[in-house]
A and B are shown apart, each in its own frame.
Chain A
Amino acid sequence: MSGKVLMCGNEAMAESAIQAGLDAYFGYPITPQNEVTAYMSKRMAEEGRVFVQSESELAAVNMVFGASATGKRTMTSSSSPGISLMQEGISYLAGAELPCVIVNVMRGGPGLGNIAPSQGDYFQAVKGGGHGDYHCIVFGPSGVQEWVDIMPLAFDLADLYRIPVMILADGILGQMMEPVVIPKDARRKTQDPGLPKKDWALTGAEGRKQNIVRSLWLADGAIERHNYDLQARYRQIEKNETLCEQYKVDDADIVIVAYGIAARIVRGAVDKARKEGIKAGLIRPITLWPFPTEQISRAADEPRIFLVVEMSCGQMVEDVRLAVAGKTPVVFWGRPGGGIPTVEQVFGQIRELTIKPKREK
C-alpha cells in the first residue's frame, strides 16, 4: 500500500498496526469496530501472521497477554462494553509490565447503550479501569491520519516502557473514510536510540536462567516496591511523552479543551468564532494520559474562560479543572449517549460565554 488511499478509520488503523510490525491480533466482534476483525482476518493471513477470533473479550485480552509475554507485538480492539470485560486483563498486563496496544472504538453507554459514537469511557481509560494503582498510556486521535500515525508510536512506547497503550477512538473515527497515507514498515529499528531488548520474554530458558512473568508479589513489602517502580516509570512517561495541540490559543479570550472527534468539531466552531470577531482557541490533548496538565495550566495564567466540550456528561473536564486549579472559570458542555455536537451548538456556547461570562462556584 503506497501513496494516498481512501479508508475508514478502523481499516486504516489496522493496516498501520500491520505496518508497525504487529505479530498477532486477537479480537471478538463488536459494533462499531467490526471492520477491524474482518480486515485483520484477511490481512494477517496474507502476511503469515496470527489472527484469532476469540470466544470473548476476556479471552482476547488474555491471548494478548500470552503473546506479549513471549515478546511479540500484539493488539486487540473492541468497543465500550467489550473493553469493560477486558479490564481484568488490562490490570494484569499493567502489573506484569507487558507491552501491547488496545483500541477502544467507543460507543454510547452505560450498559449495552447503543452503537453511536461517544466519549463516555474517558474515566475508565485514563483513571485505571481495572483494579490497582496503574496507568495505560492513552491516545485520543481526532482524525484517521492521526490515528494511523499514532499506531507505530503506540507500539514503540508500549515496548519502551513495558506498558499497555490504549487508543481511545469512537464510532465516527472508526466508520469515517478519509484520505490517508500509511507509512510502510514503520517499526522503529532496534538500534540506538532504539527499543530495549526483550530479555524478560518467555522464549524458552535454553542456555539462560528461567524467566517469570508475574503480577503476584507476596513477600513483605514487595508489591509496595513494585508499585513505586511503576509510579517512577509513570512520572517518566508524563515528562517525556505528553502530546497536545494548541490552535489559536495565544490571544484567545476563550479556550476550548476537547479531544478526539469532538475536537474536530470544536475546531470548526473556533474558526467560526474567529470570523465573528470572537477570540477563541483550542487545546487538544493528543495523549489523554499523560494529560497535558502543564500546557493547560500555563494557558490558564491569562484571564480567559475555559470551555470543555466532550461527547459525555463531563469526564475530561475534571482533569482540566485540576490543571486550571481555580485560576480561571472552567465551563463544561457536552452530549452523552451518542449525541454528536454540531459546530453551531459549540459556537453558540462560545458566543454565550464571551458575551456574558459565567462564573461557576
Chain B
Amino acid sequence: MQKVFTRPKTLKDCPTHYCPGCGHGIAHRLITEVIDELGVSGKTIGIAPVGCAVLAYDYIDVDMIEVAHGRAPAVATGMKRTNPDKIVFSYQGDGDLAAIGTAEIIHAAHRAEQLTVVFINNAVFGMTGGQMAPTTMLGQITATTQQGRQADGQGYPLQVCELLNILPGAIYIERCGLCSPAHIRKAKAALKHAFELQMNNAKGLSLVELLSPCPTYWRLSPPDAMLWIQNEMTKVFPLGKLKG
C-alpha cells in the first residue's frame, strides 16, 4: 500500500496543547511542510511569539527562540544581519505583531530586513482569555468589549497588510485564510513563496497574514468558525496578494 499522506519531518510527533479547531495547528503544519519541501530545516531559525503559540518550538523541529512580546522583528533583525546565510522567520499573533510590536514590524519592513513573517490574525487575544485585539471586528464580543467592539473609543480593526503595503522595504505581502481546504492550499503556496524569496536573497521583508480560527473565544463550533472567517472577517480583511 502506498503512503500518500504523512506528518512532515519537521513537525514533531506529539500531542497538541491547542484548542479543538484552532488554526495554529494548521499553520504549524503548513510551515513545516514548506520547510521540508524546500529542504531548509538545517538552516532555518524560527521565532516563537508571546501568546498561544509561545510553545511553537514544541512542534516545529528547527532551531528556535522565544522572545519578548512583540519584539520578534527586532530579534530577527539581529539574527539575520549576523547570519545572512540562515532562513529566519517569525511567527506572531495579532496581539504580538499588531498591538505591542507595531513599532518593531513597521521598522523591520522599513529597513527592508530579509525576513519572513507569519502573522496569525484571529481577531482576539487567545492566551490571556479572549480580550480585544487590534484586529477585533466591530461589534465582536470579547472579554474587554462585552457590548461588542465600538469604533468610538475602541477603534477600528487594524489592517496590517494594508499598513505595511506602502513601505518599499516590504516586498511581499499576502493575506490568506485558514478557512477551507482550498484556502489552506493557497496559504501554503504563499508561505512557500515567502520562504523562497528569503532563500533567493530578495532584498526585503515578506509577510503572510493568516486569518485563523479561534472557536474558543469566538464561541463558535470549529466549522462555524471557518465560515465566520469566510463570511465576516474577509469583509474587513480581504484575501489576496497586495504585492510581490
Contacts and interface: CB of A to CB of B under 8 A. Distances in A.
B47 to A, nearest CB: 8
Nearest to B110: A55
Interface residues of A, number: 40
Given A26-B78, A202-B45, A204-B44, A55 B67 contact: no
A283 to B, nearest CB: 38
Given A92-B68, A215-B66, A67 B45 contact: no
Interface stretch (A164-172, A187-195, A205-213, A292-300): A205-213
B14 to A, nearest CB: 13
29 contacts: A24-B82, A52-B81, A58-B74, A59-B71, A59-B77, A60-B74, A62-B68, A62-B78, A63-B75, A63-B78, A65-B68, A65-B71, A66-B74, A66-B75, A66-B82, A70-B79, A89-B71, A92-B67, A92-B68, A203-B86, A204-B43, A204-B44, A204-B62, A204-B63, A205-B61, A210-B61, A212-B65, A214-B57, A214-B66
B-side interface size class: 20 to 34
Interface in A66-82: 66-70, 72, 74
Contacts of A212: 57, 63-66
Contact of B42 (A26, A50, A62, A204): A204
Contacts of B71: 58-59, 62, 65, 89
A89 B65 contact: no
A62 B67 contact: yes
B76 interface: yes
Given A204-B42, A205-B41, A67 B107 contact: no
Nearest to B75: A66
A56 B42 contact: no
Interface string B6-21: 0000000000000000
Interface in B26-58: 41-45, 54-55, 57
Interface in B192-206: none
A103 interface: no
A88 interface: yes
Given A59-B103, A65-B67, A210-B63, A70 B82 contact: yes
A310 B132 CA distance: 48
Contacts of B83: 70, 203
In order of increasing CB-CB distance, the 5 nearest A-B pairs are A66-B78, A206-B42, A63-B78, A62-B74, A66-B75
Contact of B66 (A23, A58, A211, A216): A216
B68 A205 contact: no
Contacts of A67: 78-79, 81-82
Given A68-B78, A216-B55, 16 more contacts: A24-B78, A52-B81, A58-B103, A59-B71, A62-B75, A65-B67, A65-B78, A66-B82, A69-B75, A70-B45, A70-B79, A70-B86, A89-B71, A211-B64, A214-B65, A215-B66
Interface in A343-361: none
Contacts of B79: 66-67, 69-70, 202
Contacts of B78: 24, 26, 52, 62-70, 74
A351 B110 CA distance: 60
Q: Which of A54, A63, A74, A203 has the most CB of B within 10 A?
A: A63
B224 interface: no
A89 B83 CA distance: 21
B42 A205 contact: yes
Contacts of A63: 74-75, 77-78, 81
B64 A202 contact: yes
Contact of A66 (B42, B43, B61, B76): B76
Nearest to B87: A204
A214 B66 CA distance: 5
A50 B81 contact: yes
B66 A213 contact: yes
A117 B86 CA distance: 42
Contacts of A24: 78, 81-82
